[in-house]
Amino acid sequence: MAILERINRWSGRIEAVRRARRRVMAPLLRVHSASYDAPELREWERRGWIGAGEACRLAAASAPREECGRAVLFVVTLGPWKVGRAALSPMWRHLGIPGIWVGGMVVEPAVRGSGVGRRLLDEIVRVASRLPGVGEIWANVREDNQVSLRTFRSAGFGLVPRPDWEARIAEHYLRCGRRSGKRDLIVCRTIKSDPGLSAGPFG
């Protein structure tokens, strides 16, 4: 019992530290976005936010560029440093899976737990809700990636059972040699976009 109490006390303190770091960092974070053929990407490369060719790799997020259509890339910065990134694209289109997906979301290990992932997702939701014809956004998360699941949940995503998509994604990872033995879960967030506009940038 004493051990359990201690663990609880320590995890309470860890949570408090996380909240404090989040408060301090929040006003310093900036989220930048650009479509993958935008001229700003040259500047992003110059600043070291993306490496040569990374824009393409991010956009494609494991799918060949020409099959994935257009993408919007997001980079979070803290002063001069890049601390997070993700892409929004129809990245599973080549597997016959429709929809716009968040892919390649990574936060710099040194600042994980400080609100960068949440900020990234909030901005992705905000941008997606201004894109015509996008009613929801999707992501696949490995079942044992609790932090990622929590990040998506905290940004309003919910688990959606899609065994058909899960199977296709698992098969794809197998073909690419990424056999983890773990299932990918599908999460989704509904967004309110302008229903009057039908041909979005991902069309």
Ligand X SMILES: CC(C)(COP(=O)(O)OP(=O)(O)OC[C@H]1O[C@@H](n2cnc3c(N)ncnc32)[C@H](O)[C@@H]1OP(=O)(O)O)[C@@H](O)C(=O)NCCC(=O)NCCS
Question: Residue 158 corresponds to which tokens in the numbers above?
Answer: 């919910």
- CB under 6 A: which stretch of 36-44, 92-100, 139-147, 161-169 binds ligand X? 139-147
**Residue 112: closest CA among 4, 8, 6, 14:** 14
Our finding on whether 62 is near ligand X (CB under 6 A) is no
User: In the complex, what is the shortest distance from the CB of residue 113 to ligand X, in angstroms, rounded to a whole number?
Assistant: 4
Q: Which is nearer to ligand X, 26 or 197 (CB)?
A: 26
Q: Which is nearer to ligand X, 38 or 78 (CB)?
A: 78
Sorted by sequence, the CB contacts under 8 Å of residue 117 that are 6+ apart come out as 84, 105, 107, 148, 151
User: In the complex, what is the shortest distance from the CB of residue 146 to ligand X, in angstroms, rounded to a whole number?
Assistant: 7
Q: Give the residue ranges of DSSP H helices in 47-144.
A: 54-60, 65-68, 116-128
Which of 72, 141, 169, 185 is close enough to bind ligand X by CB under 6 A?
141
Q: Which is nearer to ligand X, 181 or 195 (CB)?
A: 181
Our finding on whether 99 is near ligand X (CB under 6 A) is no
Helix, coil or strand: residue 197: coil
Strand order in the sheet with 184-190: 29-35, 72-78, 81-89, 100-107, 136-142, 184-190, 158-159
Which of 41, 68, 105, 188 is close enough to bind ligand X by CB under 6 A?
105
Our finding on whether 116 is near ligand X (CB under 6 A) is yes
Our finding on whether 145 is near ligand X (CB under 6 A) is yes
Our finding on whether 113 is near ligand X (CB under 6 A) is yes
Q: Which is nearer to ligand X, 154 or 190 (CB)?
A: 154
Helix, coil or strand: residue 166: helix
Our finding on whether 112 is near ligand X (CB under 6 A) is yes
- Residues 175, 190: Cα–Cα separation, whole Å: 31
**Residue 99: closest CA among 34, 181, 160, 38:** 160
Our finding on whether 147 is near ligand X (CB under 6 A) is yes
Among residue numbers 152 through 171, which ones bind ligand X (CB under 6 A)? Answer: 154
In angstroms, what is the C-alpha Rg of the chain? Answer: 18
- What residue ranges bind ligand X (CB under 6 A)? 18, 105-107, 112-118, 141, 145, 147-148, 150-151, 154
